[in-house]
Amino acid sequence: MRVPLVLLAGVDPEAMATAMVGLQFSLPEAVAVRHEIDPERGLLTRTVSDLSGIVETHETLLEHACVTCAIREDILPTLERLARDGRWHSIVAHLPVGAEAGHLCAALTWDTRLARFLRVATVVTALSGRHPVRDLVGDDLLADRGLHCAPDDRRGVGEVLAAMVEYADALVLDGDADPVARSLVAALARPGVALLDGAHGLDGGQLLGGLHQRAHRDGWTSPTRSDPLPELRAEGVWRVDLRSPRPFHPERLLESLELLGGGAHRSRGCFWLPTRPGRAVEWDGAGGQLSIGDHAGWGRRTPFTRIVLTGVGVAPAHLRDAFADLLVADGERGSWSASEDGFEPWLGPIREVA
């Protein structure tokens, strides 16, 4: 019988610690394992506990201080060992601050041996109730707050936390947030996901049930999602859904990325380039930080461009016009090269991805 696994993610140590306590009391026959990364020392600290107290602590020197190494070298082996131990009915895994649960879920999906002992039951994201808007659409880097996972970790707090909110099966605030902040979190979250004020609202039976459904998760988090979005009924929050079957113009996009990628909002989606017609390119941004990367081939799907932007207050008036200007116009013959388009630093040479 596979042991259910509850994953806890977040970017605020205090919010995660509070949620961890709530999870342990909601699942009294569970074992909890907490991992912390010290990127400067290249050290991974593991603490295992249950309601009787601390079971073990251990420190591991990582070959590279990063989430991937931590998952491979200690997190997965520890989870397997605890699952096979037989003393506990479930496991709560407190991931390193800033580590996204998707990396661990992917590893468990592809490792058929581990899948014999473990199943991901629920992914919980913990948020601070003090300043969730700043966390989600501000321009702080994890390194600015001393929360980076590696010496070269330059990820933005908003980019990481927004992805965690979108991926989560349950969301927990560690205190009362104002209505606009709650609305922003709810607007980013998958429809139907519970947003709780405090870990005391967590239900053990639901946590161990079937909250984590891969199809539902992928349908919401995929860069190439194409379904209509649910109606936004949120106080003080705006959303702009920009869509077109046409590609972005490579030169205009490079010159004007900040028109859509800059600003205090969350933006994500996909686009395609006439120089790389077979590839869907991922767009992932928040708070002025923007990541662009090769996502996947289109396969039998017709390529399209779609960027969804979400923020608080009033939507910037220029977004729709800027989006239209970045697209290749009907009948436009581009001046771009068939061998280079300027996106090589992010997407690699055209010949390797076409």
Clarify whether residues 186 and 282 are in a common domain: no
What CATH number did the domain enclosing 321 receive? 3.30.1220.10
Instruction: Using the predicted structure, report yes or no on whether residue 337 has a pLDDT greater than 70.
Output: no
What is the C-alpha to C-alpha distance for residues 250 and 257, in angstroms, rounded to an integer? 10
Number of domains into which the chain is organized: 2
3-state secondary structure of 164: helix
Given the structure tokens 């590893």, which residue do they identify? 107
Average pLDDT over residues 215-235: 88
The total of other beta-carbon atoms located within 10 Å of residue 55's CB is 16
Q: Which of 178, 195, 221 delimits the end of a domain? A: 221
The band of 96, judged by pLDDT with boundaries at 50, 70 and 90, is very high
Clarify whether residues 183 and 96 are in a common domain: yes
3-state secondary structure of 37: strand
What string of DSSP letters covers 319-352? Answer: HHHHHHHHBPPTT------SS--S-HHHH--HHH
In a domain? residue 229: no
The band of 335, judged by pLDDT with boundaries at 50, 70 and 90, is low
Identify each DSSP E strand in 256-333 by its residue range: 265-273, 276-286, 289-297, 305-312
The band of 341, judged by pLDDT with boundaries at 50, 70 and 90, is confident
The fraction of the chain above a pLDDT of 90, given in percent, is 68
Clarify whether residues 177 and 286 are in a common domain: no
What is the C-alpha to C-alpha distance for residues 174 and 155, in angstroms, rounded to an integer? 23
Clarify whether residues 266 and 314 are in a common domain: yes
Q: Which of 221, 251, 278 delimits the end of a domain? A: 221
Average pLDDT over residues 234-248: 94
Clarify whether residues 217 and 285 are in a common domain: no
Clarify whether residues 47 and 142 are in a common domain: yes
Domain that holds residue 204: 3-221
Q: Tell me phi and psi for residue 93, to 5 degrees.
A: -110, 110
What CATH number did the domain enclosing 174 receive? 3.40.50.300
Clarify whether residues 198 and 290 are in a common domain: no
In a domain? residue 232: no
In a domain? residue 142: yes
Between the CA of residue 270 and those of 182, 297, 320, what are the distances in Å? 26, 12, 16
What is the C-alpha to C-alpha distance for residues 348 and 337, in angstroms, rounded to an integer? 15
Average pLDDT over residues 79-92: 93
pLDDT of residue 217: 82
Q: What is the pLDDT of residues 98-152, one digit of tens each?
A: 999 998 998 888 888 888 889 999 999 999 988 899 999 999 999 999 999 888 8
What is the C-alpha to C-alpha distance for residues 177 and 146, in angstroms, rounded to an integer? 24
Instruction: Classify residue 228 by its DSSP letter.
Output: P
Least confident of 103-107, 110-114, 245-249, 320-324: 110-114
Least confident of 93-102, 209-218, 283-292, 312-321: 209-218
* Higher pLDDT, residue 113 or 56: 56
Average pLDDT over residues 241-255: 95
pLDDT of residue 353: 46
Instruction: Using the predicted structure, report yes or no on whether residue 235 has a pLDDT greater than 70.
Output: yes
Q: Which of 164, 196, 221 delimits the end of a domain? A: 221
In a domain? residue 310: yes
Per DSSP, the chain holds a count of helices (H) and strands (E) of 14, 13
Clarify whether residues 92 and 135 are in a common domain: yes
pLDDT of residue 19: 94
The band of 352, judged by pLDDT with boundaries at 50, 70 and 90, is low
In a domain? residue 228: no
What is the C-alpha to C-alpha distance for residues 146 and 111, in angstroms, rounded to an integer? 32
In a domain? residue 314: yes
Clarify whether residues 216 and 241 are in a common domain: no
The band of 55, judged by pLDDT with boundaries at 50, 70 and 90, is very high
Clarify whether residues 70 and 169 are in a common domain: yes
In a domain? residue 231: no
Clarify whether residues 217 and 252 are in a common domain: no
Greatest alpha-carbon pair distance for the chain in Å reads 71
In a domain? residue 252: yes
Instruction: Using the predicted structure, report yes or no on whether residue 223 has a pLDDT greater than 70.
Output: yes
The fraction of the chain above a pLDDT of 70, given in percent, is 97
Structure tokens at 79: 């989870």
Question: Could you tell me which of 198, 192, 181 has the C-alpha nearest to residue 133?
Answer: 181
Contact at 8 Å (CB) between 90 and 121? yes
Clarify whether residues 217 and 242 are in a common domain: no
The band of 206, judged by pLDDT with boundaries at 50, 70 and 90, is confident
